[in-house]
Structure 1
Amino acid sequence: MASTPAPNLAFFGELLVRLSPPDKMLLRSARSLDLAVGGAEANVAIGLASLGRATRMISRLPANPLGQMARSVLMGAGVDCAHVAKGEGRMGLYFLTPGAGLRASEVVYDRAGSVFARASADDFDWDAVLGGATHLFLSGITPALGPVSSALAIAAAKAAKARGLSVIFDGNYRGLLWAAWDSDPRATLSELVGLADIMFGNHRDIALLLGTSFDNDGEERRRAASAALFAAFPNVQVLASTARHVAAADQHLLSARVETRDRVAQTDEIAVSGIVDRIGAGDAFAAGVLHGLLRSADDLDGAAKSGLALTALKHSLPGDASLFGQGDIDAFLSGEFDVRR
């Protein structure tokens, strides 16, 4: 009997450079900026590579020092970059003003016309970039970049399905990006979710997809939203989400939920205080859940706890991506918060 191939996860999306003022200063008064490499798909790839998973990035970077730097960051984290092509043009940027106390964080995008945003489906050899992969991860950010990128995201998902890959889709709704062009996010995202086997998203994402609202609170609202999603999208088999209550910029309450059509795993709510950086926390959650599901597809409780642990830990780490390993997850779940010597 042929053995099941080891998971090899491909990630399709744009790599970005993040620039942020030091010491939680306002962008308008900053005279220097800290630099990090980000992008939702790359963040999940780095998170899973840090957990020992085989990951590859499929993207395009400018043939300049910024592109070289971004490639080096991913490769240094253990992500295969053989399918990150080079092209002429610019690197996508975003500027983050970190929140503090009761002041929320703020993002300003400067990514229009990037090398990746100008790419079309004809720029990718799907047999080559997906060959040997078992899963494709993509998010709602790529189709939000414009009509060409929207068609590209759908082409990538269809290419993966045609080759027998499992498709993982993270809603990652970005209203500012969708509003910048004559878009129809509901139609586009619905087509992508229709191709997905695993989805990351909450009741707001599902309300957008279905053009409806869920009026109850808490558990009842989550249950109603997931039931509606599973009924509308028969291909989706797993739905994962977090619930976040923001008391202040550096104090949040978090819980995690992973469910199939007939089972639900819901964690208790935990307090995350002294937050260093919340950007990429959702990507860390996705990495933790996928890592848990790859360890045991039937252990929804373990996947939910793994996702919660990784997203909580990411709040302690500057930059966009989680760099934690299984030992860090185990220590978190066992309550080991003192110095480890």
Structure 2
Amino acid sequence: MGKVLCFGEILLRYSMGGNFPQQQDMVAYIGGAESNVALALAKWKIPVAYCTAIPDHFLSNTIITYYQQMGVDTNTIIKSGERIGAYYLNQGADVKNAGVIYDRKHSSFSELKTLSINWEEVFEGVSWFHFTAISPALNANIAALCEEALVIATKKGIIISLDLNYREKLWKYGLEPIDVMPKLATYAHVIMGNIWAAEKMLGIAINPKLIGSGSDSDLVEHAKNTSEEILAKYPNCNTVANTFRFNEQESVKYFAVLYQQGNMYKSKTLFAAKPIDKVGTGDCFMAGLIYGILHKQERQRTVEFAARAAYQKLFIKGDATTSEAEEIEKLIHHE
């Protein structure tokens, strides 16, 4: 099994406690969607490397040491620029929350350009390349850099996965997601997201009748239609996954579906009472999807594992999961 390479910006997430600033209870977590995927895969004993850019100082070195301890290959991390990107979010809130504050301009990663990475070296020993729609949301240079990586990965026969993370507050450089993402999606073999992100980024229309009912069966039907349209528009793609997470007062309802070879596979619908941290659930699902595909699991087992991994993340503080693969499997079997 070759390595999975995750490409994207490392972030520091600052979360304020309920009594901030009267109590100085702001906590920092290592974050970033692609980082979360890398850390989950490493936890589950999948060979994984992380490609990002950070400054050359003691904090960066401390973070790199942490990744190494977690089992992530850090040889593809670039030392450049002067700052690590950050975002601010109240503890327990979702990154799609209107209150999220991004502080990513002039970060080391955001200042990368085409030809700044030796992809031939970075892709050495890599069989899977994962990126998300968050990176091309930063600026035109990063969008071009993503395409540069995708072209070379394709020539090398590397499997490519794309998470259609939509972050409205990041698309501020004159282009809309629909102007950028369809071109990048043409390279992907595995596309994950949800029906609303597919509309925003790939122009696949939402059917008001199906989403209006709110029933699981109608949402699954919509996901099937969306998946079929993605496969029709993007011939390289062979697998589409959609997640559904709904906040219901103090609880969360969660399920996911996987579409492959004309068949739809739905996970069990899970309910989380009083979740602790909603950040990183989608990343955890993506990692679970990669894990299942690499292990050649049956498709139903793959979607159940990925969904349960995402669900467990709701009860873990921080951006990345700490659940073992064996723990997730046991929870599935004991239901």
TM-based fold match above 0.5: yes
Structure 1: tracts of 5 or more residues without a match: 1-5, 337-341
Q: Which residue of 2 aligns with 1:147?
A: 140
CA distance in 2 between counterparts of 1:48 and 1:145 reads 25
1:60 partnered with 2:53: yes
Instruction: Note the C-alpha offset of 1:213.
Output: 2.5
Native 8 Å contact 2:224 2:264 kept in 1? no
1:207 to 199, 220, 224: 199
Native 8 Å contact 1:214 1:225 kept in 2? no
What code does the residue aligned with 1:225 have?
T
C-alpha RMSD of matched pairs (Å):
1.7
Native 8 Å contact 1:207 1:214 kept in 2? no
CA distance in 2 between counterparts of 1:150 and 1:204 reads 21
Per the alignment, in what secondary structure is the counterpart of residue 222 of structure 1?
helix
CA distance in 1 between counterparts of 2:23 and 2:84 reads 22
Native 8 Å contact 2:268 2:304 kept in 1? no
Superposition TM-score, scaled by structure 1 size: 0.90
What code does the residue aligned with 1:161 have?
T
Which deviations, in whole Å up to 9, do the C-alpha atoms of 1:170-223 show, x marking residues without a partner?
Answer: 011111000x22113112110111100001111112222125332213222112
Instruction: Note the C-alpha offset of 1:25.
Output: 4.3
What code does the residue aligned with 1:319 have?
G
Q: Which residue of 1 aligns with 2:235?
A: 234
Count how many residue pairs are aligned between Structure 1 and Structure 2: 323
Q: Which residue of 1 aligns with 2:86?
A: 93
Instruction: Note the C-alpha offset of 1:324.
Output: 1.6
Native 8 Å contact 2:12 2:86 kept in 1? yes
Instruction: Note the C-alpha offset of 1:67.
Output: 1.6
Instruction: Note the C-alpha offset of 1:160.
Output: 0.8
What code does the residue aligned with 1:181 have?
Y
Q: Which residue of 2 aligns with 1:251?
A: 251
1:309 partnered with 2:301: no
Q: Which residue of 2 aligns with 1:339?
A: none
Native 8 Å contact 1:25 1:97 kept in 2? no
CA distance in 1 between counterparts of 2:83 and 2:230 reads 38
Q: Which residue of 2 aligns with 1:167?
A: 160
Native 8 Å contact 1:7 1:54 kept in 2? yes
CA distance in 2 between counterparts of 1:126 and 1:52 reads 24
Which deviations, in whole Å up to 9, do the C-alpha atoms of 1:283-329 show, x marking residues without a partner?
Answer: 011111111111115x1101100101100111111110012222111
Question: Structure 2 vs 1, CA of residues 300 and 115 (structure 1 numbering), >3 Å: closer, same or farther?
Answer: same
Q: Which residue of 1 aligns with 2:24?
A: 31
1:9 to 4, 8, 15: 4
Structure 2: tracts of 5 or more residues without a match: 212-218
1:192 partnered with 2:187: no
Per the alignment, in what secondary structure is the counterpart of residue 81 of structure 1?
coil
